[in-house]
Amino acid sequence: MTTAVSTDRGEAAARATDVWKVYGSGEAQVIALRGVTAEFTKGRFTAIMGPSGSGKSTLMHCLAGLDYTDRGEIHIGDNLVTGLSDKGLTLLRREKVGFIFQQFNLMPTLTAEENILLPLSIGKRKPDRAWFDQVVDTVGLRDRLSHKPTELSGGQQQRVACARALVQRPDVIFADEPTGNLDSKSGTEVLKFLRRSVDDFGQTIVMVTHDPVAASYADRVLFLADGQVVDEMFDPTADRVLDELKRFDEIVGSAQGEERR
Amino acid sequence: MLRATFKSLLSRKARLLLSTIAVVLGVAFVTGSLVLNSSLGKSIESMFTTVFDDVDVQVTAERDDSLFASATPIPADVVERVAGVDGVSEATGLVSEGTGKLRVVGKNGKAIPNFGAPVIGQNFTGFEDPMELKEGTEPQADDEVAVSASLVATTGYELGDTLPLLTDGPEAREFEIVGVFGYSGGRDSVAGEQTILFTLEAARANLMTVPDAYTLIDVTAESGTDDSQLRDDIADLLGSGYVVQTGEDLAAEQTEAFQPFLDVFNYLLLGFGAVALIVSVFLIVNTFSIIVAQRTRELALFRALGAGRGQVTGAVLLEALIVGLLSAVVGLLLGIGVGYLGTVALGSSMGTDMEATLVVPWQTILAALLIGVGVTMLAALIPAVGASRIPPMAALREAANTIKPVRWFAIIGGILLALGAVALFLGLTERVGDGDDSLLLVLAGVGLLFIGLAVVIPAIAKPLVSLIGAVLSWSMPGKLGRRNSSRNPRRTAITASALMIGITLVTAVGVVLSSANASIQKFFAESVSADVMIAGVGTLNDSYNVEILDEVREMPEVSQAAAAYIDQAEFVEPGTNDEAAVLVEATDDVTAYTELLGITVSEGDLSDLDRNGLVVYKGWAEQHRVTVGDTVDLRFSAAESAAPLTVVAVVESSIGGEVMVSDDHVDRFGQPDPMQAYITLEDGADKPQVIERINQLLAENPAVTAADIGVLNDQLTVTFDAVLLVVQVLLSLAIFIAVIGVVNTLTLSVLERTRELGLLRAVGMTRGQVTAMVMVESVVISVFGAVLGLAAGAGLGIVVQQALSDDFLEVLVMPWGTMVFYLVAAVVIGVLASLIPAFRANRLNVLSAISHD
Ligand SMILES: Nc1ncnc2c1ncn2[C@@H]1O[C@H](COP(=O)(O)OP(=O)(O)O)[C@@H](O)[C@H]1O
Ligand SMILES: [Mg+2]
């Protein structure tokens, strides 16, 4: 199988070139990524989909400087991520990258406002007050700013996480199944918010998801299977994504069958 | 359940290690004390057994009780009578002195102080086994001596040198060293002692004052004779007035003389061991509580799978049992090692050639097991019961780290504090009544306050910790560290309390000592107007020629001088037949003496003090119900019979004495020469220069030196500093255990917050910032403990000072310097304690911290 090279118009906010990632060694060796090459254009919303264990999270972690690659190169904007020291990666994450995880996004000891400003205060940067207000109003958290995470609902917590990612104006926001733990109403709110931040503020977002409906909010969907990019789709709808996934299960199924033989 | 417990223990080796260290140290301290005590006792015993190995039976005359009395002489004919007893092969009369009256004058012209093994003077009777002549010959003339090689090694005098000795009277006598001897096996001494051998005549002239007599008879038994039988036979022959002992008796007697010292030493060490153990309890309670909290899911799963409450409690207690056993064994081994090393070190510091013998009494092993297992199990009981209350549902819930309400702590602690305050108040105000009862009440009050404080701390932890943390939270990591430290007030409180205990005790001791120091200085400044003092190192034959004082008085810079003679006399308690001892003073200038020492007359007239008169100090007068006009019979140390003396005055002095007589009596004092002198100078005199000149006048008096009276103060201060140092060193173990507690709590907290750390690292926190965050938390906890300890210690010290303000702690002085030092030390401790947990925090994989599968 050949690796699908994804192309898009415009400047790349993040770029993976022939990225390999291997876990473990010998018998227990798992190749999580097999030469992935992908570009994420500025101001676009990309969803990454694929079966469980296909390497979605691994790819995202490598892109975000949370993990080292074994081969290949990662760029965030013009910065070469590959080869950076721990310190360099830390600074990169602090200044160029925003995160939204599936759960446990917030520090329990900090208020919503302190959580939103966390990356800025870690870096001793002054928040842009007008921008902060705009973000807070967009996610609708104005009256919850002094609350601790335990006093917020799951959806509110994820919105705080979104606000945190956005307020530092990163080159790119990585979201790993941000709606995975939410009911559909809260999930929709978060997705709408992500969409708006791309449309209104020109934010670049890369989101891993299982959910075809969530993927339909994106501009483009990358399909991963067995550590490789196998397909992509522009302007996805939930139905088209679902069809694609079904097709995919068949391919993967037969591929595994072949391997067994 | 058993398998699960073992697995869980082994899978957390670091945790196991940390929780054992505290118990190991506590057990080691206690067993070390016990082993040290037994070994020291045994070593001393075997040392004396060696010393008296060659003695079959020894006869001495019964001694006078007075401190100043010299050995009662044994007439020469008694030796012949003893020699005639059946079974006696040989009876040798000896003149021997080893009570410290014989001193070598060092090359600097002053008597060498001798606090370890004694200097023994004896008449020469031949170099018999195990003695061996090394150089020179035997003493033949009365100014010749042979000395042991140990004396050569200690003093530096060698064969052919003139050896100045202080024997009797204030001036040194000179002897020539004609021989140096050692003992079989190349030993310089038997047990570190220095021996000087005189001719019989010289020994009699210098070591006792009676001609034709001995101080002891050395009896050699015929072979086949039982020593104790022979002892009894000789005792029967001599009747009362003589002490007959076998070599074994002597060894036992000497060993026993050390026992009070050993006991005090032992209680002291055990006391500190107990403190260390109490601190360990805090640490273990905390460790197990945290472990149980972190294993909530695991334990709840057990419950969900059908384990009963008892089984869950059992699992935690089983873990405690294993930790306890392991710690007991390791602690015991460590304690034995420490005890042995301590014996060796103390043996050599006592200035003796003691060989250290290791003794491990079975009680030690029992104590180690009881303490190690008992303390651990007891400490784990609360967390174990807590564990059994975890509902099975908790397994399904997200990290159920519910923080328990601290209200109960506030209530119980408040009650205890109130009770303590009441006991303290009663103890302090009812002091006029029975002194013992009120002191007991004060102690009980202090104890209650202590416990109350420990209980109430969790309730006050949150606001106090926030306050302390406010200073450190200028940055985001600082802010997070501060918030973390007040997250679980109970955990923080217990960790800090452990540190508090040690700091409380050192602070309290510091307050008492600095107050004592200030009180004594104030007392000296107010009552003693003397500028210069002549005194020795404190032995009974410190003395000087009284004529020198006349020369001192003639110096233009000197305004007044008074000599002090001291004796211990016997008197018959008025109205009874009981004999009792009384401390007697005399001076050559009563007016100057009373003025210089701040003695005031409360009744009678001092100028009436003549040969038949007696001045009594108020306290003694009240105790023995005597007043002006009464007659008291006093027998001085060197007097044959008692003299009836009439009380002419009752005086008061803050120095405190018992009675004073006219200096007409001093030739019947055990020490007929003055032992001390007090001197005041004219205004503007050059003190150091005057002291220098007085010392020149004292050149022939090696036992004493003139010194600024302030030196006395300094000597006391040095003593207090030494006491404080010992307390600090011994309590540093408790503090060390508390530090381990901080490390332990933080390490466990860090593991508990894996995800938070992952999140922080993901959003851009550097390792340095993570370290700073953990460090702030650590410093906040340890400073919290220190602040509590300083406050509690200061309070405790003030209470003690108040309680004893009438006795000797008149002034309260806080040791601010040391207190600030402890606070700074707490910051350093906090920083150091955070290193391991911070390292652990930084080693966490960012990914595993945030991944959600
Ligand atoms: N830390 C790890 N150690 C070993 N194997 C891992 C690790 N993380 C992920 N893997 C493996 O790598 C593959 C890709 O995982 P992941 O990126 O988490 O997939 P996805 O997010 O698409 O479900 C899987 O086979 C997974 O088991
Ligand atoms: Mg995943």
A50 C-alpha vs ligand 2 centroid, how far in Å? Answer: 10
B764 vs A103, A109, A123: nearest CB: A123
B759 contact A CB<8A: yes
Q: Is pLDDT at A1 greater than 70 in this prediction?
A: no
Query: Stretch A33-46: mean pLDDT, rounded?
Result: 93
Residue B66 pLDDT: 67
In a 10 Å sphere around its CB, with 0-12 CB exposed, 13-18 middle and 19+ buried, how is residue B27 labelled? buried
Residue B429 pLDDT: 66
Residue B401 pLDDT: 47
Q: Which CATH superfamily is domain A12-260 in?
A: P-loop containing nucleotide triphosphate hydrolases (3.40.50.300)
Q: From the CB of A23, is ligand 1 less than 6 Å away? A: yes
Instruction: Provide the whole-model pTM.
Output: 0.75
The values of phi and psi at residue B475, to 5°, are: -120, 170
| Residue closest by Cα to atom 24 of ligand 1 | A53
Interchain CB distance below 8 Å, B480 and A110: yes
Residue B469 pLDDT: 81
Which ligand sits nearest to residue A32's alpha carbon? 1
Residue B400 pLDDT: 41
Q: From the CB of A53, is ligand 1 less than 6 Å away? A: yes
B241 C-alpha vs ligand 1 centroid, how far in Å? Answer: 99
Rounded to the nearest angstrom, the minimum Cα separation between B762 and chain A is 7
Q: From the CB of A29, is ligand 1 less than 6 Å away? A: no
B578 C-alpha vs ligand 1 centroid, how far in Å? Answer: 97
pLDDT digits (tens, 9 = 90+) for A197-252: 999 989 999 999 989 999 999 999 999 999 999 999 999 999 999 988 888 777 66
Mean pLDDT of chain B: 84
Q: Where are the domains of chain A?
A: 12-260
| Residue closest by Cα to atom 26 of ligand 1 | A53
Residue A244 pLDDT: 86
HEC profile for B406-469?
CHHHHHHHHHHHHHHHHHHHHHHHHHHCCHHHHHHHHHHHHHHHHHHHHHHHHHHHHHHHHHHH
Interchain CB distance below 8 Å, B756 and A107: yes
DSSP-assigned states of every residue in B669-707: SSS-S--EEEEEE-TT--HHHHHHHHHHHGGG-TT-EEE
The values of phi and psi at residue B507, to 5°, are: -65, -45
> CA quadruple B809, B812, B816, B821: dihedral positive or negative?
positive
Residue B667: how many CB atoms within 10 A of its CB? Answer: 11
Residues with pLDDT less than 50, chain B: 398-401, 432, 853
Residue A257 pLDDT: 46
B618 contact A CB<8A: no
**Contacting residues of A for B766, CB less than 8 Å apart:** 87, 90-91
B762 vs A66, A87, A108: nearest CB: A66
Residue B457 pLDDT: 83
A52 C-alpha vs ligand 2 centroid, how far in Å? Answer: 7
| Residue closest by Cα to atom 20 of ligand 1 | A53
User: What is the pairing mode between strands B532-535 and B242-246?
Assistant: unpaired
Q: From the CB of A30, is ligand 1 less than 6 Å away? A: yes
Interchain CB distance below 8 Å, A110 and B483: yes
Residue B4 pLDDT: 66
Interchain CB distance below 8 Å, A109 and B480: yes
Q: Where are the domains of chain B?
A: 1-55+257-402, 56-256, 459-528+709-853, 529-708
Q: Please, are residues B206 and B121 in contact by the beta-carbon 8 Å criterion?
A: yes
Instruction: Say how far residue A75 (Cα) sits from the centre of its chain.
Output: 15
- Measured distance CA(B211)–CA(B669) in Å, rounded: 21
A53 C-alpha vs ligand 2 centroid, how far in Å? Answer: 7
Residue B117: how many CB atoms within 10 A of its CB? Answer: 22
The values of phi and psi at residue B194, to 5°, are: -110, 125
Q: Is pLDDT at A4 greater than 60 in this prediction?
A: no
- Measured distance CA(B17)–CA(B23) in Å, rounded: 10
Residue B719 pLDDT: 79
Confidence of residue A9 (pLDDT cuts 50, 70, 90): low
Supply the angle between the helices B296-304 and B247-294 in degrees, to the nearest 10: 80
